[in-house]
Amino acid sequence: KAGVTQTPRYLIKTRGQQVTLSCSPISGHRSVSWYQQTPGQGLQFLFEYFSETQRNKGNFPGRFSGRQFSNSRSEMNVSTLELGDSALYLCASSSGQTWGSGANVLTFGAGSRLTVL
């Protein structure tokens, strides 16, 4: 089955602009999580959406937002871009089951690499 698809793969923006990233999860998966990966901070959790509702949220400013559509596709938006927002943004989909069952598995996309100039 098709994996997690993220678009675009690469993009360059300037400070103050905004950006929208898209993620198409594995068919049947209802949970989509977003992570920011930088060399200094590693993988930082942004938010998770499950059945169109934000279920978990990380410690990022309000400039970072997301949403999920009825077909489970998700978008994240970053407004008023800053230089420090340059990163690899990873999306992961899963069935959304409880972690304690051991059955919840994140499948990651290849990421969207954002460069802010």
Partner 1 sequence: TQLLEQSPQFLSIQEGENLTVYCNSSSVFSSLQWYRQEPGEGPVLLVTVVTGGEVKKLKRLTFQFGDARKDSSLHITAAQPGDTGLYLCAGVYDSWGKLQFGAGTQVVVTP
Q: Rule CB under 8 A: which residues touch partner 1?
A: 4, 33, 35, 41-45, 48, 55-56, 58-59, 90, 92, 98-102, 105-111
The number of beta carbons lying within 10 Å of the beta carbon of residue 66 is 22
Residue (72 or 112) nearer to partner 1, CB = 112
Residue (56 or 77) nearer to partner 1, CB = 56
Cα–Cα distance, 72 to 74 (Å, whole number): 6
User: Any bridge partners for residue 83, and if so which?
Assistant: none
CB 64 within 8 A of CB 82: no
Strands 112-116 and 10-13, how do they pair?
A: parallel
Q: At closest approach, how far in Å is the CB of 102 from partner 1?
A: 4
Q: Which of 14, 21, 52 is nearest to 35 (CA)?
A: 21
Residue (4 or 19) nearer to partner 1, CB = 4
Residue (59 or 70) nearer to partner 1, CB = 59
Q: At closest approach, how far in Å is the CB of 56 from partner 1?
A: 4
User: Any bridge partners for residue 112, and if so which?
Assistant: 89
Q: At closest approach, how far in Å is the CB of 12 from partner 1?
A: 17
Q: At closest approach, how far in Å is the CB of 16 from partner 1?
A: 29
